Amino acid sequence: MIKYAHVEKWVKEMAAMCQPDHIHWCDGSEAEKAELTKQALKTGELMELNDKKLPGCFLHRTALNDVARTENLTFICTSFQGDAGPTNNWMNPREAYAKAGAIFKGAMKGRTMYVVPFCMGPVGSPFSKIGVELTDSIYVVLNMRIMTRVGEEPLDALGPNGEFTRCLHSKADLDINRRLILHFPEDNTVWSVGSGYGGNVLLGKKSLALRISSVMAQREKWMAEHMLILGVEEPNGHIQYIAAAFPSACGKTNLAMLIPPDGLKSKGYRIWCVGDDIAWMHLETDGRLWGLNPETGFFGVAPGTNCKTNPNAMATVAHDTIFTNVALRPDGTVWWEGHDDAAPKKAIDWTGKPWRPGLKDSNGQPVKAAHPNSRFTAPFLNCPIHSHRHKHHRGLPISAIVFGGRRARLAPLVYQAFDWNHGVFVGASMASERTAAQYGKVGEVRRDPMAMIPFCGYNMADYFGHWLDMGQRVKSPPPIFHVNWFRQDDDGNYLWPGFGENLRIIEWILARSRGEIGAVETPLGLVPRLEDLDMSGLDVPAKAMNELFSIDADAWLAETEDIAAFFDQFGTRMPREMHAQLAALRKRMTAVKEKPAAQTRAAAKKK
């Protein structure tokens, strides 16, 4: 392993501050993995599971107050507050380094500092980014080995003057009052202290691949997005790829690993999972947008995952997986709420306490066996439908971009934006209703443009501007769509079955991207002619289908008020085009309201 001088100098500086007893440079070898695993079992960072039933799998429990990304303690540290924008927490870099530096000081005494060189994207690809994470957590090292390409190869690829993201992490004392997740896009640096939870500490993922990379992408004219990538192969071998952004709790991992429904099986589609969380997209010489998944693993939510919702995920986590905060069964296997198996008669819950079904806490509330945000970290190659093209250095051509949200009433099952700029507006006005699994009031709408609100490393007004600019640069931009799998009737029943059946909508999206079929123009965008949706083997009553595509102009006009309030916080920095798109939506909805016939006329006009 080549220890380049500029890397070594930085490691020494950080070690002088954190004062570890030892420094270990990770080479990424199997022998190293075995040794680290042995140590983690000794310290209790990992617990052994039943090696026959779950070969190569381990269990980790976090501290009780360290179970999710802490957005309130996550900061973008830029010289000017305006560069972070109103949707990010901001701290002056000098203050941020001083504040975190005081916590890092001596934090690794008695511990080893692991130097983890890693590469997001295939090593050697012109679109990959190299980082080095310094950490005092073996759990972090072992998770990074699953989620990224770790060790000698990325370090050697760096070269003597190579630019890399400087990632520093210490668990310190896991005190929530001394926890900070700091991003310094101007210095290509991330400092995370006081947490051991994945999203806060696996710094290649949300920190490098989204927050820091979004800034680089704006500068270098590419896109770092919170999107899955999915390939749909026809029997003739032609594969089309879609990139899709959804806020948390909208089934992103399930969609990324979709299994065709019985009714469409005869069409012989094969689905390929390219990624479930992050897409880096760039312009290619063919004038199209190409995307790659910079990760090599899945860091997915366990509860609710089962053989009905996501059989591929269940196969993925059957071996060589690290489980975090799930329940432990007496036979050394794991369980979570929404697992295929019935609740075990007894288990150890995620906090390490005995658990049995029906257990209540001191307030009479049911005690969960697994934490609602309990996770699995599993290798990408474990997924039975992983794309063999995942390693392509230039990524894969993207045929469609899909935005989605969870809206019980408002948004139709699917609609297509009129053009790229309208699509950017659709992404920028994305919103989702909170579920019980999220902090906040259930049902409350959270605006989450492009599902990037927690992950955009700069002012989102500039980010929307960057999206608009990319539309100018791409000769053949992919069409943009919006989906809502979660529409409900008045009794709160879901109108659409979701899961594998969503392929019927993706089929329509891809046919539209190929320009093969028409659509119905509405004030919101282009929706399918019902006869163009293949509903073989699926019985959704006509009434429900109509409701799934109904557009309530009053509700949409109310929504435009909410969007306007959201946009207004960006002041004059917001691109004028976004306000123009909002005004155009208002005008179209008002026209429909004043002259309901207009909707019918519009509906008659096939595009």
> What is the set of active-site residues?
250
Using rule CB under 6 A, residue 248 touches ligand OXD? yes
Minimal distance in Å, beta carbon 457 to ligand OXD? 15
154 binds, among ligand OXD, Mn ion, none (CB under 5 to 8 A by kind): none
**Residue 23-42 contact track with ligand OXD, rule CB under 6 A, x = bound:** --------------------
Using rule CB under 5 A, residue 448 touches Mn ion? no
Measured from the CB atom, is 256 or 281 closer to ligand OXD? 256
Cβ(532)–Cβ(517) below 8 Å: yes
Distance CA(458)–CA(82), nearest Å, equals 9
Residues within window 133-172 making contact with ligand OXD, judged by CB under 6 A: none
199 binds, among ligand OXD, Mn ion, none (CB under 5 to 8 A by kind): ligand OXD
Alpha-carbon Rg of the chain, whole angstroms? 24
Distance CA(338)–CA(139), nearest Å, equals 26
Q: To 10 degrees, what angle do helices 420-428 and 576-594 make?
A: 90
Place of tokens 């659709």: 426
Which strand (E) or helix (H) includes residue 239?
strand 239-245
Measured from the CB atom, is 32 or 277 closer to Mn ion? 277
**Residue 446-465 contact track with ligand OXD, rule CB under 6 A, x = bound:** --------------------
277 Cβ partners below 8 Å, 6+ apart? 205, 226, 227, 228, 252, 253, 293, 295, 298, 299
Minimal distance in Å, beta carbon 199 to ligand OXD? 5
Distance CA(310)–CA(257), nearest Å, equals 7
Query: How many positions of this chain bind Mn ion (CB under 5 A)?
Result: 1
Q: To 10 degrees, what angle do helices 553-568 and 576-594 make?
A: 160
In 406-542, the DSSP E strands lie at 414-416, 431-433, 445-447, 480-483, 520-521, 526-527
406 binds, among Mn ion, ligand OXD, none (CB under 5 to 8 A by kind): none
Using rule CB under 6 A, residue 254 touches ligand OXD? no
Measured from the CB atom, is 66 or 277 closer to Mn ion? 277
Interface residue with Mn ion among 133, 277, 295, 521 (CB under 5 A) is 277
219 Cβ partners below 8 Å, 6+ apart? none
327-328: strand order across its sheet = 334-335, 327-328, 347-348, 354-355
**Residue 228-267 contact track with Mn ion, rule CB under 5 A, x = bound:** ----------------------------------------
Interface residue with ligand OXD among 277, 433, 462, 501 (CB under 6 A) is 277
Measured from the CB atom, is 206 or 422 closer to ligand OXD? 206
Which strand (E) or helix (H) includes residue 48?
strand 47-48
Using DSSP, how many helices (H) and how many strands (E) does the chain show? 17, 31
Minimal distance in Å, beta carbon 574 to ligand OXD? 25
The token pair that represents 81 in the structure block: 């507050």
Task: Find the part of the chain contacting Mn ion (CB under 5 A) among 275-283, 335-343, 365-373, 508-516.
Answer: 275-283
Interface residue with ligand OXD among 85, 199, 231, 344 (CB under 6 A) is 199
Could you list the residues that contact Mn ion (CB under 5 A)? 277
Could you list the residues that contact ligand OXD (CB under 6 A)? 69, 199, 248, 277
